[in-house]
Chains A and B, each alone.
Chain A
Amino acid sequence: MTITVALPSKGRMKADTLEAFKSAGMTVEAVGNDRSYHGRVLEHDDIEIAFMSASEIAKELTKGSIDFGVTGEDLVRETIANVDSHVEFHARLGFGNADVIVAVPEFWHDVTTMSDLADVAMGFRARHGRQLSIATKYWQLTQQFFSSRHGIQLYRIVESLGATEGAPAAGTADIIVDITTTGSTLKANHLRILSDGLILRSEACLVGAKASTHYGSDLYKKVATAFK
């Protein structure tokens, strides 16, 4: 019997993950060549490794086609509806840090908090003939934060799949919801984070699928507790 752990397939996220696994006593080795999407753990022959893109990992966790995955909390919370009934967060791995935030143009000096934004959103239609628009790839997180947490209903999401931070200057959206690590991209684009505009403090996590056939078994627990 084996258990499948999906890990990020490329970049810094992959390197950091492999290192974290090694420190936890799981040395991951690609099967075949270095570019292979299949791997194994030297110390445990009952753990299989599948390399996938970070967003794919979040999707596969809901289906239970993988037992564990390492990916950003932001992607998990964005991709999976009713997240707590589908997955369990077992460990925060200390890398891949990114904050999901609400940012407005720097010169909106009158908007420093979400309640300012609610105020602006309310008068927006009367003044501009359309609703306040938000560029983001985080539909779910934005809707939860704006609608449920802050009671702001009158806004539109403009889907943005790249260079979100450029949308306000280009005039394609008024404000953004995006991830930031150092804040330097925001600064370069003359955007400012609202004082209460932190939606999620995300980092790479070891996430378990509740739909896994191994959920709760000894083998499952071995992986789940490896980072304790």
Chain B
Amino acid sequence: MVSKDMKNILDRVEQDLKSCGVTMMDCDIIQPAEPFLKMAGEDLRRRIFLTQNVAGEALCLRPEFTIPVCMAHISAGEQAPQSYGYIGQVFRQRDVGMTEFYQAGIENLGDPEIAQADARMISNAAMLVNNSSQADDVQIILGDQAVFADVLSALGLPTGWQDRLIHAFGDEQALATMLKTLSAPEAQSYSDETIKELVEADDHEGLSEHLSDVMAKTGYSTKASRSPDDIARRMLEKQRLSNTKLGEQDLTKLKTFLDIKVPLNAAIDTLTKFAESSEIDLSHSLETFAARISALEQMGFDMSSTYYETAFGRPLDYYTGLVFEIRSAQSGQVQAAGGRYDRLMALLGAATSIPAVGFSLWLDRFEVKS
């Protein structure tokens, strides 16, 4: 049963979505489970409602809309930029709250104007929340993985470390552990003499050949599992990293950066000052950042309760740049969450690279007055 309040919210949100100029998209409630498991990993398996068809293929009740919408866009072979809207029930087991609840949102696919598209999603999401949510005051929190990536590269960290830190971005605990290891790396030791020599000589080819021999001797198919080349690469990378220590000064810079929390209209100023005092060049990511802010200004977006947090991100490998959340100021409950996931479309099988940005609204939280 849909409550009267929820019915009103659904009607209003659908009307507002249409006013954003989107194509409304309908997705089947029963979906193939594989794409969701492939994208979100094994942990999602416990949270979704799984079943099988007669052929034994895994099906599930749709746990969210982004993946079905993106897949429909890909299979339609759509070339032009498209903005899709959706509204409906999703089914997921959560720590708190109902297992079936309503979500709505927009997926903006293929738009090459990155800053414009980012800004439009933030402003659309804010409009939808303001018009329909019962939450009194909302705060918008914005983060940008590209700026963090730029800081890491400007500090001159080895790429292996950059990758690891970016992967941990958005997971406070994981990031703290990484930084600790980075300030005191562990030494590598190999008991096998041949391997020890090859690693010390930084001999990628020799190491790879040696591993290939070992695999053949132990009955491993070289096609199975990771290739000798990949293992050798990572062994040598580990060796190099164990010799890399992030200096006290650089560590302080990184920590200073991750502590930045400012109103969005002060963000460029703060980042510019940080770049100057740390003597690093952030001009590349700052350009996109500034363009996004001016796009918001041109839309007449009220930035008074929008904040930028340098450490805010999502530890999923297809997120690339902007992330944002609209939270109730009192309860902190997330009303809308979105971001840019330029890598998702390729992972879902798109032949060309398709930029993607979007958000979802947690409509079940709109009813509650905070």
Contact = CB atoms under 8 A, between A and B. Distances in A.
Contacts of A107: 211, 214-215, 218, 220, 228, 231
A110 interface: yes
Interface in A125-183: 125-128, 131, 143, 146-147, 151, 153-157, 168-171, 174
Contact of B221 (A128, A131, A146, A169): A169
Contacts of A127: 226, 230
A170 B231 contact: no
B98 interface: no
Interface residues of B, number: 39
Contacts of B226: 108, 120, 127-128, 174
Given A156-B42, A171-B224, A109 B195 contact: yes
Contacts of B225: 105, 168, 171, 174
A199 interface: no
Interface string B32-49: 000001101111011000
B221 A143 contact: no
A161 to B, nearest CB: 16
Interface residues of A, number: 31
Contacts of B238: 110
B41 A153 contact: yes
A115 B164 CA distance: 11
Interface in B200-227: 211, 214-215, 218-221, 223-226
A190 interface: yes
A126 B238 CA distance: 19
Contacts of B71: none
Given A143-B43, A174-B226, A122 B220 contact: no
A177 to B, nearest CB: 12
Contacts of A153: 40-43, 316
B171 interface: yes
A27 B330 CA distance: 65
Interface string A8-32: 0000000000000000000000000
A99 interface: no
B174 interface: yes
A110 B230 CA distance: 10
Contacts of B30: none
A119 interface: yes
B43 A168 contact: no
B29 interface: no
B317 interface: yes
B12 interface: no
Contacts of B190: 109
Contacts of B235: 109-110
B167 interface: yes
Most buried by A among B38, B40, B192: B38
B169 to A, nearest CB: 12
A94 interface: no
Contacts of A171: 221, 223-225
Contacts of B192: 109
A203 interface: no
A147 B42 contact: yes
Interface in B179-196: 190, 192, 195
B163 interface: yes
Contact of B219 (A119, A125, A126, A169): A169
Contacts of B38: 131
B234 interface: yes
A142 to B, nearest CB: 8
A106 B347 CA distance: 30
B235 to A, nearest CB: 4
Across the A-B interface, give the 3 residue pairs with the lowest CB-CB distance, nearest first: A171-B224, A153-B41, A147-B43
Interface of A: 105-110, 115, 119-120, 122-123, 125-128, 131, 143, 146-147, 151, 153-157, 168-171, 174, 190
Interface of B: 37-38, 40-43, 45-46, 163-164, 167, 171, 173-174, 177, 190, 192, 195, 211, 214-215, 218-221, 223-226, 228, 230-231, 234-235, 237-238, 316-317, 347
22 contacts: A107-B215, A108-B226, A108-B231, A109-B192, A109-B235, A115-B177, A119-B234, A120-B226, A120-B234, A122-B163, A122-B167, A125-B347, A143-B45, A143-B46, A146-B42, A153-B43, A153-B316, A154-B317, A157-B45, A168-B224, A170-B221, A174-B226
